[in-house]
Amino acid sequence: MSKTTPPIRSLSVAGLFAGIGGVERGLQAAGMRTELLCEWWEPAQAVLRHHFPDVPLHDDIQTLKALPDVDVVTAGFPCTDLSQAGRTAGIHGQASGMIKHLFELLETASPKWVVIENVRNMLALDRGTAMEYLVTQFERLGYSWAYRLVDSRFTGVPQRRHRVILVASKTEDPRRVLFTDDAGERPDHQYREDGFGFYWTEGNTGLGWAKDAVPTLKGGSGLGIPSSPAIWVRDAPPGQAIVTPTITDAEALQGFPVGWTEPAQHHSRASLRWKLVGNAVTVGVAEWLGRHLAEPADPVPMPNKTLPEGARWPTAAWGSAGDRWTLDMSLWPEQRPYQHLRDVVDTGLAKPLSLRATTGFHDRLMRSRLRYPEAFALALKSHIEYMEQPHP
């Protein structure tokens, strides 16, 4: 009788701060099963109930008495106080400070893995106070930890989205999850030059500029509203050159099936769905993580350097019991087949950016010292002139 490899046991998951289930959908694609979801916002709850009808849903982490006996606990906690588009009040702000309840729950729970996800700005805000707090709390509870900054484009979606993925464990080596592969960034010549994403809510100090991609989809903006980015369709005629993707485009740009957030529609404003999608975790990132949680492997061999106390947090680091190291890993663990921006967003059907939005952005851009292609400025001006004319 021939020997066969025993099947890998399906890992169980409790998803805290679950949002619309981006982490859970990705982990399910990696063969995991969700045992509990926790989410307070009613529109997001509506999405979770629709797509995870058999999973218990708790409405507030503050009243969650204990975690179920699961293998993986995830916590994509609110970025409101950490994001550059948010209040930047820090890790102890009213929203982002909710992460403290995770550590309270871990006092009486022993999952194999704990996963945290949040914005890149967490590494720099207040000289890295947020990261210091997180790793100190994990070490206090006896966990080893590792984190890595990743770009969602490595999963193939045309969205430049940088997120910190932190993995901790009492019994396993988190390096065997996050540091097992490194493909390096995709060469620039592999991106097409027929579409460029930018944020029309910016223009003073930044553009959110992205070639053959959109910049990070956000739950809020510099103007304090959830909004779509815009796309400059190079060589398109006036009226079709400066456009905005639809909410279903946004779902696809995050790796969700089209219509994923439709169950939230009865909660009033259309912009609400943008906030849900902007706050979500890219599904492909969670699927990549899930595969490595299920089957850890040896880390890529590379030099590890001591991370001095008080030093800036790098793009990848790990530690245990007060000792910390850094290593030079790219934001691209893999290079999956790339979906070009205009293959995902049908710019011929996209809505032109409004006259008011374009004019405001153009005015801010002209007053700034930002660098941008001259053809882009000309396209903006032509779009304004077109939008000023009466149209059917």
Chain segment 95-116, per-residue pLDDT in tens: 667 888 999 999 999 999 999 9
CATH architecture of 12-186+281-326: 3-Layer(aba) Sandwich (3.40)
Tokens 């089209």 sit on residue: 258
Active site residue 38: no
- Grouping H, G, I as helix, E, B as strand and the rest as coil, residue 316 is strand
Higher pLDDT, 29 or 238: 29
pLDDT at 372: 94
pLDDT digits (tens, 9 = 90+) for 361-380: 999 999 999 999 999 999 99
Catalytic member of 79, 135, 166, 207: 79
Evaluate the CA torsion angle 178, 182, 183, 188 in order and state its sign: positive
Both tokens of 282, joined, read 């890219």
Instruction: Of 39-48, 92-101, 102-111, 187-196, give the lowest mean pLDDT range.
Output: 92-101
Question: Read out DSSP for 92-120?
Answer: TSTTGGGGHHHHHHHTT---SEEEEEEEG
pLDDT at 21: 97
Radius of gyration, alpha carbons of the chain: 22
- Grouping H, G, I as helix, E, B as strand and the rest as coil, residue 175 is helix
* 66 close to 86: Cβ distance less than 8 angstroms: no
The single-letter code of the amino acid at 367 is R
Tokens 């790990």 sit on residue: 318
Domain locations along the chain: 12-186+281-326, 188-280+340-388
Reply yes or no on whether the pLDDT at 222 is more than 60.
no
DSSP H helical segments within 282-326, as ranges?
Answer: 283-294
φ/ψ of 142, rounded to 5, equals 90, 20
**How far, in Å, CA of 112 to CA of 127, rounded?**
30
- The CA-CA-CA angle for residues 177, 172, 6, to 5°, reads 80
Residue 132: CB atoms within 10 Å: 15
Question: Read out DSSP for 7-29?
Answer: PPPPPEEEEES-TTSHHHHHHHH
pLDDT at 382: 97
Q: pLDDT band at residue 2, thresholds of 50, 70 and 90?
A: very low
pLDDT at 78: 65
Closest CA to 15 of 29, 41, 33: 33
**How far, in Å, CA of 231 to CA of 342, rounded?**
10
Q: What is the pTM of this model?
A: 0.93
φ/ψ of 121, rounded to 5, equals -60, -20
pLDDT digits (tens, 9 = 90+) for 161-173: 999 999 999 999 9
Q: What DSSP character marks residue 310?
A: T
The single-letter code of the amino acid at 80 is T
Q: What DSSP character marks residue 301?
A: P
pLDDT digits (tens, 9 = 90+) for 68-80: 999 999 998 766 6
Closest CA to 85 of 253, 215, 246: 215
pLDDT digits (tens, 9 = 90+) for 264-277: 987 766 678 999 99
Burial class (CB in 10 A: 0-12, 13-18, 19+), 114: buried
